[in-house]
A and B are shown apart, each in its own frame.
Chain A
Amino acid sequence: MTRILWATGVALLATTLSACGMNTGTGGAAAAGGGGHLVYAEQLAPAAAWAPETDDAHRLRRAGCLETLLGIGYDGELEPMLATEWNQVEPTTWEITLREGVTFQDGTPMDAEAVAGSLNHLLEVKTPARSFNPDIISKVTATDESTVQISTPEPDALLPLRLASPNTGILAPKAFEGAQIDIQGTCTGPFTVTEEVPQQSLALKANENYWGGDVALDTAEVRFVVDGGTRATQLQAGEVQIAKSVPVANLSSLEGDTNLEIPQIGLPRTTVMLLNNSRPPFDDPLVRQAIQKAIDTQPIVDGVYEGAGTPAVGPFRPDSGWAPEGAEAISANLDEARSLLDQAGVDPEELTFELQAYIDRPELPDVATVIQAQLAELGVKVEIKSGEAAALEPSWLEGDYDATLVSRGYLTDMADPGGYLLSDWTCKGSYNMAQYCDPETDRMIKEAVALEDEAARAEAYREIAAKLNGEAASIWLQHENAVWGTQAGVKGFQPHPLDAYVLTAGLSLG
C-alpha cells in the first residue's frame, strides 16, 4: 500500500509541478551579459491588474516601464520627461508639447493621438484617479502630431503636477484594447516587461530604443515580496540587489553588513497623534497645547524608529518648503504644560484619555507606550487601545475617539499638499479625522490651493502649517524615512523623495 501511496504522490507532484509552469532555473541573479541582471524587491504585488488609475501605476513606474509627461526630479522639482514644454495658454487650457522621436516599446510612435487616448482613458474609468478625473479635467485633445491640449472646468495651477503623477503615465493604444491593461511593450520607459508571473514577479529587458539613451543593465526582475523580513534576508543573501522598505527592526543587522548600503530618504509622511477636536478633553486648545508640551519626540525617533526619521516640526517636513522657517520640533517642558492645564482648569491627575494605535504599522503601539510613559510624568493617564486600522477607522471618521496615532502621507499622487489639507483639515474635509473645524483655516486652505504662483502657494501652506501646529490641532511626532537596501556593487541608485524611480537607464552593477 505504501508503494501505491508513493506512486500516487510522486505522480501528483510531477503533474502539479508542470502545472505551475516551474522551470529548472534557480531564478537567482545570474549575469546575462555585459550589463548584467539586477533583481529589485518591491513590497506589494499589483492589486488592480495594472490599472493606471490605481497605485499599481507607482509600481510600474518604479519598474522602469511606465513614464509620465512630466517628471519629478530628485530635488523634488518638475522636469521635462515625455513632454518638453507645458504652458497655460488660457486660464482653463494647458498646451503640452511632446518630446520628438519617442516610440512605445512595441515600436509604435508616441504621438499626440496616443497620449490623448491614454489620458482620456483615465477620464472614462469607473473609479477615476484623484489626480486626474472628470471633475477637474474636461477633455484632452490632440491638436497636431506633437501637441496636446488639456482643458479644465476651472483654472488649474496644479495641472503640471498632475502630469507627473504615475496615474497619468502614458501607455500605447494597444494597452487599452483588452479587458485588462496590457503592460507588455506598451510603455516608453527604459525597461520592457517580457513576462509577468502573477503575484510573484515581472521579468524585464532593456529597451534598446529608449529615448533617454543607453540602458546599462541587460535584464532585470521585479519581485513582489510582501514580508519585510524576507526582503531584508533576500538582500543579505544576495538574492536581490535592491530592496524597498527595509523594516526598522532589521536596520541594526543590515547596517553592520559591509556588503550592503542602507540609504535613507525623508518621506512626505508624518506620524501624528490625532486629537479629537470635537469633544472633551481635546476640544480645549489649552489642553491640546499642554499635551504637546509634555511630549518629547526625539526619544520616539531614536527608540522606536531606530533613528530612521526626524522629529516633526508640524504637518510638513522641514526640508519640504512648506514648513514654517525656523520651526522646531516639540520637546517636553512639564512646567509649561502644567501651567497650560492650570489655565484650562484641568487637574492633570484627573485627566485620562484613550490612545488608539493600529498594529498594521508595528511601530505605532510602541510609540503609544512611549507617549503613555511621558504623559505619566505630568500625571495624565493614557489607556492604549490597539487594533487593525480597518477596525479603528470608522471611529476616526465618526469622531468617536479621544486620540489616535496615525501615519499619514501628505503627498499621495501629486507633489503638492493641497489635497491633504483640504481632506484632513477643513470642516467638511472627506478625511477630517481630527474633527477639526475652524472657518479661518478653511478660508486659508481654500485660498492657498487656488494660488497659481508656486512660491505664493508655498508661503500660504507655511502659514497654515504654523497655525495648525500652534493650535496643537493635533500633535505631529515624526517625519518618516524610507529605508532602502542595496548591494554595495549597485551603481546609479538613489532613493527618490517620492519613491518614484528605481529601475532607471543609468542603474548598473558597477
Chain B
Amino acid sequence: MLMFLLRRSLVLSVTLLVISVLAFLIPYAGEGDPARKILQARVNDPGLEPAQVEALTRELGLDRPIFVQYFDWLKQAVTGDFGFSYTSRTPVGELVTPALSVSITLALAALLLALVFALPLGIAAATRRGGRLDNAITFISQSAVSAPEYWVGPVLVLVFARYLGWLPSGGWTGPAFIVLPAVALSLRPLGYFTQVTRAAMSEVLAAPYITAARSRGLSFPVTLLRHGLRNSMLPVMTLFSFWFAGLLGGAVVIEVIFNVPGMGRLLYTAVVNNDVPVIQGGLMLILTLAVLINTVTDLLYSVLNPAIKVTNA
C-alpha cells in the first residue's frame, strides 16, 4: 500500500507538471492580440490607441519570452497564487473559489439525481434481460444519452418556468434554483449509469457465486443487495468520478442557459475577455481536481473489492 501511494504521488506530480504547461499555454492558443482583447473587455469600443495597447502589453509583461512567463507563473502557482484577473484586477482565487463551490454543488446534485434513477433502472433491466421492461429501459437510457443539453435546458425552462411557473428559470440564489440545471445535466449521466449498471449487473448475476449464494437459501433480493450490487458498483463508480471531474468545468452550456455562476461560465467569460490568469488558474484547478478524483477512485476500488490489488491499480 505504501509503495502504491509513493508511486501514485510520483505519477501525480509529473501529471500536474504536464498539466501546468498545458494550462499555461492554452490561453495563448486563441487568435488576436491579448492586450487588445483585454482592453476591449474593459471598454466596449474596439477603437483603441496603439500606445495604450503597447503600454498594457509591457505592464503585464506579455512581451517577455513565453518560458520566462511560464516559470514566473509556476513559481507563484505552487503557492496557490494565480495572480490577478486582467480585466477585474481581483485575485484569481477570489473568482475561482466561489465558482468552483457552485460547480461542485451542481455536479453532485446532477450525478446523485442520475444515480437515484439509474441504479434501480439498471438493476431492473439486468434482472429481466431481453424482456419488455429491459427494452423500455434501454430505450429511456438511450434517449437520455442522446438528449443534448442545449435542447433539454430550454425545454425545461419553457415547461417548468414559463408555463407552469413552478421553478425559477435561472440564477443561483436558493435551493429552488438548483433543480432545473441539475435535471438538465443529469440526463446524459443517467443514461450512461443505467447502461453500465445493467451490463455490470448482468455479468455479476451470471457469476457462480450468485448461484452459490442462492443455493445457500438466500432470497433473490438479499443476494442482489449483498453480492450483486457491491460487485457491479465498480464500473459505475469509475463513471461517476469521470463525470464528476468533467462537470466541474464542463457544464458551460447549462451554466450559461441557467445563469449559474459556476466554473464553466467563469471560464467562458474569461475566454471571451482573454482573461489569461483566470483561464490558467481555473484550468489548473479543475485539472488538478480531476487527477485527484481519479486517484481517490483508484483507492476506493480496493475498498469495494479487496480482490483488486492496489499495486496493480
Q: Which secondary structure characterizes the binding site on chain B?
A: helix
List which B88-144 residues lie within 8 A (CB) of chain A. 88-90, 95, 98-99, 101-102, 104-105, 108-109, 111-112, 115, 119
Question: Which residues of A have CB within 8 Å of B90?
Answer: 49, 180
Q: Which residue in chain A gives the minimum CB-CB distance to B48?
A: A430
List which B28-48 residues lie within 8 A (CB) of chain A. 30-33, 36-37, 39, 41-48
In the assembled complex, B73 has its CB within 8 A of some CB on chain A: no
- Give the docked Cα–Cα distance between A491 and B51 (Å): 46
Known: A126-B56, A200-B261, A394-B32. 10 other contacts (CB 8 A): A22-B173, A198-B261, A200-B173, A225-B259, A226-B265, A233-B170, A390-B37, A393-B32, A412-B47, A430-B48
A412 x B269 contact (CB < 8 A): no
- Give the docked Cα–Cα distance between A49 and B89 (Å): 7
In the assembled complex, B162 has its CB within 8 A of some CB on chain A: yes
**Chain A 110-133 near chain B by CB (<8 Å), digits 1 or 0:** 000000000000000011011000
How many residues of B sit at the interface, in one of the four size bands? 35 or more
Residue from A20, A130, A230, A391 within 8 A of B43 (CB atoms):
A130
In the assembled complex, B157 has its CB within 8 A of some CB on chain A: yes
Q: Which residue in chain A gives the minimum CB-CB distance to B51?
A: A430
Supply 22 A–B pairs (Cβ within 8 Å), ascending by A: A9-B115, A20-B102, A22-B105, A23-B174, A26-B174, A27-B176, A47-B88, A51-B88, A53-B42, A58-B44, A127-B56, A198-B95, A200-B171, A200-B261, A225-B259, A230-B169, A234-B170, A390-B30, A390-B31, A390-B274, A394-B31, A412-B44
Question: Which residues of A have CB within 8 Å of B105?
Answer: 13, 16-17, 20, 22
Residue from A1, A26, A47, A198 within 8 A of B42 (CB atoms):
A47
B154 x A55 contact (CB < 8 A): no
- Give the docked Cα–Cα distance between A201 and B36 (Å): 28
A237 x B165 contact (CB < 8 A): yes
| Known A-B contacts A239-B161, A394-B32; A26 and B168 likewise in contact (beta carbons under 8 Å) | yes
A47 x B161 contact (CB < 8 A): no
Question: Which residues of A have CB within 8 Å of B72?
Answer: none
Question: Which residues of A have CB within 8 Å of B95?
Answer: 198
> From residue A381, how far is it (CB to closest CB) to chain B in Å?
27
Question: Which residues of B have CB within 8 Å of A9?
Answer: 108, 111-112, 115
> From residue B99, how far is it (CB to closest CB) to chain A in Å?
8
Question: Which residues of B have CB within 8 Å of A409?
Answer: 44-45
List which B42-81 residues lie within 8 A (CB) of chain A. 42-50, 52, 55-56, 59
Question: Which residues of B have CB within 8 Å of A429?
Answer: 47
B170 x A225 contact (CB < 8 A): yes
| Known A-B contacts A390-B31, A394-B32, A424-B47; A233 and B176 likewise in contact (beta carbons under 8 Å) | no
- Give the docked Cα–Cα distance between A197 and B48 (Å): 31
- Give the docked Cα–Cα distance between A237 and B108 (Å): 28
In the assembled complex, B288 has its CB within 8 A of some CB on chain A: no
Residue from B41, B50, B273 within 8 A of A430 (CB atoms):
B50
A229 x B32 contact (CB < 8 A): no
A1 x B32 contact (CB < 8 A): no
> From residue A430, how far is it (CB to closest CB) to chain B in Å?
5
In the assembled complex, B233 has its CB within 8 A of some CB on chain A: yes
A54 x B43 contact (CB < 8 A): yes
B269 x A2 contact (CB < 8 A): no
Residue from B101, B154, B256, B304 within 8 A of A20 (CB atoms):
B101
- Give the docked Cα–Cα distance between A260 and B184 (Å): 28
Question: Which residues of B have CB within 8 Å of A127?
Answer: 39, 42, 52, 55-56
Question: Which residues of B have CB within 8 Å of A394?
Answer: 31-33
Question: Which residues of B have CB within 8 Å of A237?
Answer: 161-162, 165, 168-169
**Chain B 242-285 near chain A by CB (<8 Å), digits 1 or 0:** 00000000000000111101000110010001100000000000
In the assembled complex, B229 has its CB within 8 A of some CB on chain A: yes
In the assembled complex, B87 has its CB within 8 A of some CB on chain A: yes
> From residue A163, how far is it (CB to closest CB) to chain B in Å?
18
A420 x B47 contact (CB < 8 A): yes
Residue from A2, A236, A393 within 8 A of B119 (CB atoms):
A2
> From residue A166, how far is it (CB to closest CB) to chain B in Å?
11
B88 x A49 contact (CB < 8 A): yes
B56 x A198 contact (CB < 8 A): no
Question: Which residues of B have CB within 8 Å of A234?
Answer: 161, 169-170
- Give the docked Cα–Cα distance between A424 and B269 (Å): 28
In the assembled complex, B158 has its CB within 8 A of some CB on chain A: yes
In the assembled complex, A34 has its CB within 8 A of some CB on chain B: no
- Give the docked Cα–Cα distance between A9 and B109 (Å): 9
- Give the docked Cα–Cα distance between A429 and B158 (Å): 48
- Give the docked Cα–Cα distance between A155 and B65 (Å): 44
- Give the docked Cα–Cα distance between A443 and B229 (Å): 83
Question: Which residues of B have CB within 8 Å of A239?
Answer: 161, 168-171
In the assembled complex, A213 has its CB within 8 A of some CB on chain B: no
Q: Interface centre among B88, B98, B112, B237, by most A CB within 10 Å?
A: B88
| Known A-B contacts A9-B112, A54-B42, A391-B32; A1 and B48 likewise in contact (beta carbons under 8 Å) | no
Question: Which residues of A have CB within 8 Å of B256?
Answer: 226-227, 230
B161 x A24 contact (CB < 8 A): no
A17 x B102 contact (CB < 8 A): no
B87 x A47 contact (CB < 8 A): yes
Question: Which residues of B have CB within 8 Å of A256?
Answer: none
- Give the docked Cα–Cα distance between A224 and B59 (Å): 30
> From residue A227, how far is it (CB to closest CB) to chain B in Å?
5
Question: Which residues of A have CB within 8 Å of B55?
Answer: 126-127
Question: Which residues of B have CB within 8 Å of A391?
Answer: 31-32
A130 x B169 contact (CB < 8 A): no
In the assembled complex, A19 has its CB within 8 A of some CB on chain B: yes
Question: Which residues of B have CB within 8 Å of A1?
Answer: 229-230, 233, 304
Residue from B154, B175, B229 within 8 A of A24 (CB atoms):
B175
A431 x B46 contact (CB < 8 A): yes
**Chain B 213-224 near chain A by CB (<8 Å), digits 1 or 0:** 000000000000
> From residue A17, how far is it (CB to closest CB) to chain B in Å?
6
A199 x B261 contact (CB < 8 A): yes
- Give the docked Cα–Cα distance between A53 and B45 (Å): 13
> From residue A136, how far is it (CB to closest CB) to chain B in Å?
12
Question: Which residues of B have CB within 8 Å of A130?
Answer: 43, 45
B257 x A393 contact (CB < 8 A): no
In the assembled complex, A315 has its CB within 8 A of some CB on chain B: no
> From residue B181, how far is it (CB to closest CB) to chain A in Å?
11
Question: Which residues of A have CB within 8 Å of B304?
Answer: 1
> From residue A397, how far is it (CB to closest CB) to chain B in Å?
9
> From residue A3, how far is it (CB to closest CB) to chain B in Å?
10
Question: Which residues of B have CB within 8 Å of A23?
Answer: 173-174
B176 x A26 contact (CB < 8 A): yes
List which B170-198 residues lie within 8 A (CB) of chain A. 170-177
Question: Which residues of A have CB within 8 Å of B168?
Answer: 26-28, 237, 239
In the assembled complex, A162 has its CB within 8 A of some CB on chain B: no
Residue from B30, B158, B173, B273 within 8 A of A27 (CB atoms):
B173
A230 x B257 contact (CB < 8 A): yes
Q: Which residue in chain B gives the minimum CB-CB distance to A12?
A: B108
Q: Which residue in chain B gives the minimum CB-CB distance to A431?
A: B47
